Structure 1
Amino acid sequence: MIESIKSEKQYFYHYTKAETALDFILKNRNLRLGSYDQTNDPKETKSWKFNFGTNENRDLSKYKMEELSAWLSFELKGKAKLLCFSMDSAPLTGNHLNDIFNRGYCKPRMWAQYGQNHKGVCLVFDRSKLDKLIYERFSHDQILSSSIEYKNRGIAPNLYSADDQQYMINIDHLENVGPEQYVYDHLMAHHKRLFFEKMSDWRDESEWRYVVFSRSSDDLYLEFQDSLVGIMFGDDTDDQAVSDIMELTKGFGLRYMGLKWKNCSPWYDYGNLRYMPGMQNSPWVKSSTGITRNSR
């Protein structure tokens, strides 16, 4: 999880509040897939505005642009459930002294925004195991997954580019195949631009996401089983929260570690005895105030 890691494709990282991790994720041993329109990115929360056109002189007067636009926006976004992770960044040399700045659990912006301002946790998942579980669990749904491309685009599309038609409804194709098939075809043709592209200001998230298009309006959950391999605690995670989380997960076979900032740089809390393998059940642990007796 920390030392001698040379592949940036080995782990996924999920930042969350300590309370959420303790009371929901780790207690229930599952991850919730959130609605796509409940993120903090206006591109994803706002209804998409589509234009429409024809290359075959179809009668466009029978269509109302606002209604047709709202229909396609809902069909694409309303059924989409989202699960997001951060990734490691290349290169990883295996020297954790230098690699720490490329690790997915060491992103100050992510700790501040999603990790309870450094009071939360970062859950570490085995990427290949988690990927397999997702495709098995949602095998009857449409699943799309990819890293995010970070790119700024102006408001005016290039109407002559086939790659720039994600907000254009092709009335010719709609009338030929019908509404249900059209939604699927539009998704397949434009999913990269619609679901896997964000402005460059988000680039430090190094995001990988799964989008599951479910027929159900209910929340979706993924049992992560043995894909969870470690937990990283934030610089200001409460000692009691650390103890409670480690107690709850003591049979999971996890690696635990904390991050501590010293001056300008983060580093691992190697001096904390509670994170040493085999020391979780020791009567003595090191807290932020020194070595104390373990309350457990």
Structure 2
Amino acid sequence: MIMNVTDSNKYLYHYTDAGTAIDWILKDRTLKLGPYTGTNDPKERKGWLFDFGTNEGRDLGKYDRNEYSSWLSGEFKNKTLVTCLTRDTGPLTGNHMFDIFKRGFCKPRMWAQYGDKHRGVCLVFDRERLQQRIDAQVAPRFPVLSGPVEYVDRGIARDLFEDQQYLINVDVLETEGKEEYLLLHLHKHYQRLFFEKMTDWKDENEWRWVTFSESAEPLYVRFGNALVGLVFGDETTQEHREQILALNHNRGVHHEGLRWKNCSPWFDWK
């Protein structure tokens, strides 16, 4: 997890507070896919507003923008679940002294925002193993998408020929019906809708799994041996460390800690 790592795609990282790790994640050995609208990005949390378009001269005046936006946005969001992790930033040299600044577990802002101000922990997952677990437990029931998030700033004045993720094609809608239109629109535009954020988020270097469920109720994936490591924050209490070590005892999880000396992070080899 630390030494001689050269594959920047091997691991994924999830920051959380120590209480959540102890009471839920490590106790139940599960990772939650939660409601897409529960994220902290307004693009994902708020409803989307759609325009209408036609190539066949159809009457667009009969369509109420708010009504159809509420329908399509609601269908896309209200039953969508997501889990978000961060990645290493390549290339990695294999020398941990230099690579520490590129590692997904060493992001001070993410420790502050998601890791309880450095009092929490960062879980380290083997990406391929976690993908296998999600495929086995979720994919047989619901469609699952996964991949890196792309970071792009898009202005409010859109090119309707290029940026059609927020455009309802009424030709297809009237021909195929609402249910089929949902699937067609999702298939064509899922990347921009669910795997794109503003560049202000780019340092999170996010990887996510998105699934389209039957309700907004979370799904819990048993991660098994996909959890390969855990990093304690600079301020994680000794009590929490001991509880976490006990929960992971004999489970093949490598534990490490981070300490800050002046402006530099380093490993707490204890």
Question: Is the CA contact (8 Å cut-off) linking 2:80 and 2:216 kept in structure 1?
Answer: no
Question: Is the CA contact (8 Å cut-off) linking 2:256 and 2:268 kept in structure 1?
Answer: yes
Indicate the SS of the match to 2:234: coil
The answer to whether residue 80 in structure 2 is matched with residue 80 in structure 1 is yes
* Equivalent AA in structure 2 for residue 13 of structure 1: Y
Count residues in correspondence: 269
The answer to whether residue 100 in structure 2 is matched with residue 100 in structure 1 is yes
> 1:124-143 deviations in whole A, cap 9, x for unaligned?
01111001111111122111
Structure 2 CA distance, aligned partners of 1:195 and 1:216? Answer: 18
* Equivalent AA in structure 1 for residue 123 of structure 2: L
Indicate the SS of the match to 2:159: coil
Indicate the SS of the match to 1:76: helix
Q: Give the TM-score, by structure 1 length.
A: 0.89
The answer to whether residue 142 in structure 2 is matched with residue 141 in structure 1 is yes
In the alignment, structure 2 segments of 5+ residues that lack a partner are: none
Which fold has the larger relative contact order, with Cα–Cα distance below 8 Å and residues 6 or more apart in sequence? 2
User: What is the aligned partner in structure 1 of residue 38 from structure 2?
Assistant: 38
Structure 2 CA distance, aligned partners of 1:160 and 1:36? Answer: 27
Indicate the SS of the match to 1:232: strand
Q: Give the TM-score, by structure 2 length.
A: 0.98
User: What is the aligned partner in structure 1 of residue 186 from structure 2?
Assistant: 187
Structure 2 CA distance, aligned partners of 1:131 and 1:251? Answer: 23
User: What is the aligned partner in structure 1 of residue 176 from structure 2?
Assistant: 177
> 1:133-158 deviations in whole A, cap 9, x for unaligned?
11111122111111011111100110
Percent of matched pairs sharing the same residue? 54
The ranges of structure 1 where at least 4 consecutive aligned residues each deviate by more than 6 angstroms after the TM superposition are none
User: What is the aligned partner in structure 2 of residue 109 from structure 1?
Assistant: 109
Deviation at 1:60, TM superposition (A): 2.4
User: What is the aligned partner in structure 2 of residue 211 from structure 1?
Assistant: 210
The answer to whether residue 239 in structure 2 is matched with residue 266 in structure 1 is no
User: What is the aligned partner in structure 2 of residue 165 from structure 1?
Assistant: 164
Deviation at 1:218, TM superposition (A): 2.0
User: What is the aligned partner in structure 1 of residue 59 from structure 2?
Assistant: 59
Indicate the SS of the match to 1:85: strand
Structure 1 CA distance, aligned partners of 2:217 and 2:153? Answer: 33
In the alignment, structure 1 segments of 5+ residues that lack a partner are: 273-296
* Equivalent AA in structure 2 for residue 225 of structure 1: G
> 1:33-90 deviations in whole A, cap 9, x for unaligned?
1100110000111100001121112222332111011000011111110011100110
User: What is the aligned partner in structure 2 of residue 278 from structure 1?
Assistant: none
Indicate the SS of the match to 1:141: coil
Q: What is the RMSD computed on CA atoms of the aligned residues?
A: 0.9
User: What is the aligned partner in structure 2 of residue 120 from structure 1?
Assistant: 120
Structure 2 CA distance, aligned partners of 1:263 and 1:203? Answer: 26
Q: Which has the larger radius of gyration?
A: 1
